[in-house]
Structure 1
Amino acid sequence: MKIVVIGGSGHIGTFLVPRLVRAGHDVVSMTRSGRTRYAASPEWEEVTHVAVDREEQDTDGTFGRTVLAQRPDVVIDLLCFTIESATALVDALRGEVGHLLHCGSLFRYGPTVKYPIHEGGGTEAIDEYGRQKDAIARMLIAESASPGGLTTTSIHPGHIVGPGWLPINPLGNTDVSAWHRISSGTPLRVPSQGGDTMHHVHADDVAQLFQLAVENREAAAGEDFHAVAPSALTVRGYTGIAGGWFGRPGEIEPITWEQYRSETTEAFAQHSWDHLHRSHYLSIDKPKSVLGYASAYEPEQAILESVRWLIEHGELEVARPLRV
């Protein structure tokens, strides 16, 4: 099939595009720069690169025509954040393309009230980003169910990690000083008693699920799926596991949110709240049973790969070397 990947140079695309090429598909990567950005692989030499400014063309109403000009059988949209943008693309592709796949987010759900969360079953989103992602997912389901509607699938990743990407740490943010404290054996001061959960996923596992949905169109039609690791990490468990990588105990020191906000930046405090308050843990029963999804990475394995890459490339300063 000829497959257009919108946003193919990002973390998911870095793994997805080579996967599709290896599977024998003709792939077009549409990005602002017109080139790849992360891990290099020989498959990229077989990819057609198209430079396009999605935001600009959404504004002038030409983006759908630009996508259709590539004459795709399948479109994978990794770069859509508003219901208006998603609806415009659906309207352009309806009757012209066999399958549209959209990348959503676990932030379509608000704070967890029951573990695990099944597709579409969480609480209402608590920010505009999450509300938009949920609205898009529901619109796509309705589109596929309507007579003459476009066949669609939405896939909702957890906290994506992989080479070149700073992982969400046990504080629920990307403050690099947390890794120095963990590696030094200093207790990590966290605004939590340690039971809040975060659900990570390796970028290649997300790419795997997109590929499975592409190649099992009838099973994936009109569905939404979670793309996460088989398990989620608690703050306490995550800190302990990460400390062990450096031969340290990995302990936490619970503090109040007021104390935490006084000790960090407003941006890091908000980032932590965004993750810890939601305390997500998503089910993957549906992608496993419907599409045969099989995560290659437990969350700690995926995070360790990210941390190792960052240390080896001089992008993360730690107090002690890794012992694993």
Structure 2
Amino acid sequence: MTVLSRSERDPYQPHGAWDRVRTVTVDRVESDAAGEFGPLVAELEPDVVIDLISYTQDSAGQLVEALRGRVQHFLHCGTIWVHGHSAAVPTTEDAPRRPFGDYGIGKAAVERYLLDQARRYDFPATLVHPGHISGPGWVPINPAGHLDLGVFQALADGKQLALPNLGMETLQHVHASDVADTFLAAMANRSVSIGESFHSVASGALTLRGYAEAVAGWFGREADLTFLPWEQWTRTASADAAKLTHDHLAHSPHCSMEKADRLLGFRPRFSVLETLEEAVNALVASGRIVR
């Protein structure tokens, strides 16, 4: 196995398997800009390519053109944000795409392009759309919809936590292990996965309120919650945190895993709360949250 990375950070979790992984150091952005990334990947003569960091159609197109006729399977990591606002839930993969924001719009364009390449030109592409990837080593999106560990600490300490609106918008995390297993299931079922998109989420979604109550319970506390109108709540958070919260609340995802179950025989091993409890426990063990 070969991994292409800037090699600027360690893996999320140490594992002996990394000793058998060849790492090629490359900056994707710079290599894309120079038109060199696709040819670099092709020179490695891969059987399967999993692209985790392509955010534009141009970036994905470089790989497709370089790998056309030279790769058995091409898997792209998308996002459930290709759906945009949730309508009927749980959202299925065939729901209309109404993305908003640069990230969702860019990923939806990549999806359209790759599915067209698969269905019109037989390029062997499959797309996997994860939710909020979490687990040991990750700082998960917190019950306020952003990444500030102070939210978890407040719940651990029994302090009052302000949530926006009524705390009824939803988040949908997924364990990193289940994301990896979704890719493996797609590879193992190549004949039915090519030309298709699959969600990769934990079954069910959590409201902000339910999430906060669960976290407090892990620390033997009752959640002390207060709810503020959006404009008032934004004064309790940094501008960056408020922007991230707005993105998550505007999407309020709740996606279905029925298609992956039906076509790939895959069901996530971890529930949403199991995923988050593992992530929080790892943060406690590392001293980033104090019990």
**Structure 2 length as normaliser, TM-score?**
0.96
Deviation by residue 1:10-60 (Cα, 9 ceiling, x = unmatched): xxxxxxxxxxxxxxxxx1111112885221211112212111121111111
Contact 2:147/2:241, CA 8 A, preserved across alignment: yes
Q: Residue 120 of structure 2: which of 122, 128, 146 is its match? A: 146
Q: Which moved more, 1:80-89 or 1:247-256?
A: 247-256
Q: Amino acid of the residue matched to residue 252 of structure 2?
A: S
RMSD: 1.4
Contact 1:111/1:123, CA 8 A, preserved across alignment: no
Deviation by residue 1:93-139 (Cα, 9 ceiling, x = unmatched): 11111111000011112221211111141551110110011111111
Q: How does 1:24-103 map to 2 (within 5 A)?
A: 27-33=1-7, 36-103=10-77
Helix, strand or coil: the match of 1:294?
Answer: coil
Q: Quickly say closer, same or farther: Cα 1:123–1:189, change in 2 above 3 A.
A: farther
Question: How many equivalent residue pairs?
Answer: 291
Deviation by residue 1:197-242 (Cα, 9 ceiling, x = unmatched): 1000000000000011112111111000000001111111111111
For the pair 1:121 / 2:76, whether they are aligned, the reply is no
Deviation by residue 1:246-281 (Cα, 9 ceiling, x = unmatched): 111124211011111112111011111111121110
Q: Amino acid of the residue matched to residue 118 of structure 2?
A: S
Contact 1:197/1:281, CA 8 A, preserved across alignment: yes
Q: Residue 145 of structure 2: which of 158, 172, 177 is its match? A: 172
Q: Quickly say closer, same or farther: Cα 1:123–1:218, change in 2 above 3 A.
A: closer
For the pair 1:158 / 2:159, whether they are aligned, the reply is no
Q: Amino acid of the residue matched to residue 210 of structure 2?
A: G
Helix, strand or coil: the match of 1:71?
Answer: coil
Deviation by residue 1:142-175 (Cα, 9 ceiling, x = unmatched): 111114x311001000001011111101111011
Q: Which moved more, 1:111-120 or 1:194-203?
A: 111-120
* Contiguous gaps of at least 5 residues in structure 2: none
Partners in 2 of 1:247 and 1:123 — Cα distance?
A: 42
Partners in 1 of 2:148 and 2:16 — Cα distance?
A: 34
Q: Amino acid of the residue matched to residue 41 of structure 1?
A: H
Q: How does 1:256-275 map to 2 (within 5 A)?
A: 256-275=229-248
Q: Which moved more, 1:134-143 or 1:121-130?
A: 121-130
Helix, strand or coil: the match of 1:146?
Answer: helix
* Contiguous gaps of at least 5 residues in structure 1: 1-26
Contact 1:112/1:123, CA 8 A, preserved across alignment: no
Partners in 1 of 2:153 and 2:9 — Cα distance?
A: 34
Contact 1:194/1:252, CA 8 A, preserved across alignment: no
Q: Matched residues, percent identical?
A: 39
Partners in 2 of 1:167 and 1:92 — Cα distance?
A: 35
Q: How does 1:121-270 map to 2 (within 5 A)?
A: 121-147=95-121, 149-270=122-243
**Structure 1 length as normaliser, TM-score?**
0.87
Partners in 2 of 1:87 and 1:65 — Cα distance?
A: 12
